Amino acid sequence: MKAYRAAILRFADDHSALYEEDGLLVVGPDAQGRQVVRAVGAYSALAGNYPGVAVEHLPGRIIAPGFIDLHIHFPQTDVIGSPAEGLLPWLENYTFPHESRFVDGDYSAGVAKVFLDELLRNGVTTALAFATSHPQSVNALFTESQARGMRMITGKVLQDRHSPDGVRDLTEQSLIDTEQLIQRWHGVDRLGYAITPRFAPSCTEAQLRGAGELAARYPKVWIQSHVAENLEEVRWARELFPQARSYLSVYDDFGLMRERAIYAHCIHFDDEDRALMRATGTAAAVSPTSNLFLGSGFFDYEGADRVGFKYGLASDVGGGTSFCPFHTMLAAYYVAREGQTKPGLSLSPEQLWWQHTAGAAQALGLEGTAGNLQPGCEADFVVLNPNCTPLLARKSSHARNLDELLFGMIVLGDDRLVERTVISQGPPSRMAP
Ligand code: GUN
Ligand code: ZN
The pLDDT, as a whole number, for residue 339 is: 83
Ligand 1 centroid–CA 346 distance in Å is 28
Q: What percent of the chain clears pLDDT 90, i.e. is strictly above it?
A: 95
Mean pLDDT in residue range 212-217: 99
- Ligand 1 atom 7: the closest Cα is on which residue? 319
Rounded (10°) angle between helices 390-398 and 402-412: 160
* Predicted TM-score (pTM) of this structure: 0.97
Instruction: Tell the CATH topology of 67-364.
Output: TIM Barrel (3.20.20)
DSSP letters for 132-197: -SSHHHHHHHHHHHHHHT-EEEEEPEE--SS--TTT---HHHHHHHHHHHHHHHTTSTTEEEEEEE
- Give the atom of ligand 1 at the shortest distance from the alpha carbon of 202: 2
The preferred substitution site among 87, 160, 248 for testing ligand 1, maximizing ligand atoms within 8 Å of CB, is 87
Pocket test for ligand 1, best of 94, 229, 287 (most atoms within 8 A of CB): 229
Report, as an integer, the average pLDDT of 226-255: 98
Beta pairing class for 2-11 and 283-286? unpaired
> Distance between CA atoms of 113 and 116, rounded to whole angstroms?
5
For ligand 1, the distance from its centroid to the CA atom of residue 229, given in whole angstroms, is: 8
According to the model, what pLDDT value does residue 32 have? 87
C-beta separation of 411 from 34 below 8 A? no
Predicted local distance difference test score (pLDDT) of residue 341 = 82
State which of 76, 78, 95 you would mutate to test the pocket of ligand 1, scoring each by most atoms of that ligand within 8 A of its C-beta: 95
Sketch the domain layout of the chain as residue ranges.
Answer: 2-65+371-422, 67-364
How much is the average pLDDT of 295-324?
98
- Decide if domain 2-65+371-422 falls under CATH 2.30.40.10: yes
User: How far from 51 is each of 5, 45, 182, CA to CA, in Å?
Assistant: 14, 13, 44
Mean pLDDT of all residues in the chain?
A: 96
Strands 35-42 and 17-29: antiparallel
Is residue 395 within 6 Å of ligand 1 at its C-beta?
Answer: no
Q: What pLDDT does 342 receive?
A: 80
> ω into residue 318 within 30 of 0, thus cis?
yes
Cα 9 to Cα 349: distance, rounded to the nearest angstrom: 12
Residue 426, phi-psi category: left (phi > 0), alpha (psi -120 to 50), beta (remainder):
left
**pLDDT recorded at residue 429:** 44
Query: According to the model, what pLDDT value does residue 432 have?
Result: 36
Ligand nearest to the CA of 292: 1
* Range 141-144 contact pairs with CB under 8 angstroms and sequence separation of 24 or more: 141/74, 141/108, 141/112, 141/115, 141/116, 142/185, 142/188, 142/191, 143/109, 143/112, 144/109, 144/112, 144/113, 144/116
Res. 24 pLDDT band, cuts 50 70 90: very high
Residue 310 — pLDDT band, cuts 50, 70, 90? very high
Tell me, in angstroms, the distance from the centre of ligand 1 to residue 223's CA: 15
Contact between 219 and 186 (Cβ < 8 Å) = no
Report which protein residue has its CA nearest ligand 1's atom 8: 319
Taking residues 176-182, report their average pLDDT.
Answer: 98
Q: Mean pLDDT lowest for which of 102-111, 190-199, 330-339, 342-351?
A: 342-351
Query: 154, 220 in Cβ contact below 8 A?
Result: no
Residue 229 CA to ligand 2 center (angstroms) comes to 9
Ligand with an atom nearest the CA of residue 230 = 1
In this structure, are residues 178 and 223 in contact, taking their beta carbons and an 8 Å threshold? no
198 lines ligand 1 (CB under 6 A): yes
Residue 431 confidence (pLDDT): 38
Q: Considering only CA atoms, which of 372, 204, 231 is closest in space to residue 298?
A: 231
- Cβ(99) – ligand 1 distance below 6 Å: no
DSSP states of 94-114: IIHHHHGGGGSHHHHHHHHHH
Reduced to 3 DSSP states, what percent helix, strand and coil does the chain have, rounded to the nearest 5? 40, 25, 35
69 vs 57: CA distance, rounded Å: 29
Please work out whether the CB of residue 229 comes within 6 Å of at least one atom of ligand 1: yes
Ligand 1 in contact with 285 (CB < 6 A)?
no
Is a pLDDT exceeding 80 seen at residue 257? yes
pLDDT of residue 433: 31
Helix 135-148 × helix 171-185 angle, to 10°: 10
Q: Which of 202, 181, 203 lies closest to 192, judged by CA?
A: 181
Q: How many whole angstroms from 130 Cα to the centroid of ligand 2?
A: 7
Mean pLDDT over residues 412-429, rounded?
84
Instruction: Write down the pLDDT at residue 391.
Output: 98
Which tens digits make up the pLDDT trace of 83-97?
Answer: 999 999 999 999 999
For ligand 1, is residue 196 a contact (CB within 6 Å)?
no
Percent of the chain with pLDDT over 70: 98
DSSP state, 68?
A: E
Tell me what pLDDT residue 14 has. 97
Find out whether the beta carbon of 91 lies less than 6 Å from any atom of ligand 1: yes
Q: Are 40 and 1 in contact (CB under 8 A)?
A: no
What pLDDT, on a 0 to 100 scale, did the predictor assign at position 427? 40
Residues 146, 327, 26, CA angle at the centre, nearest 5°? 50
Query: Identical fold at 2-65+371-422 and 67-364?
Result: no
Nearest to 19 by CA among 354, 334, 280: 354
Q: Is the pLDDT of residue 426 over 70?
A: no
- Going from the Cα of 98 to the center of ligand 2, the distance in angstroms, rounded, reads 15
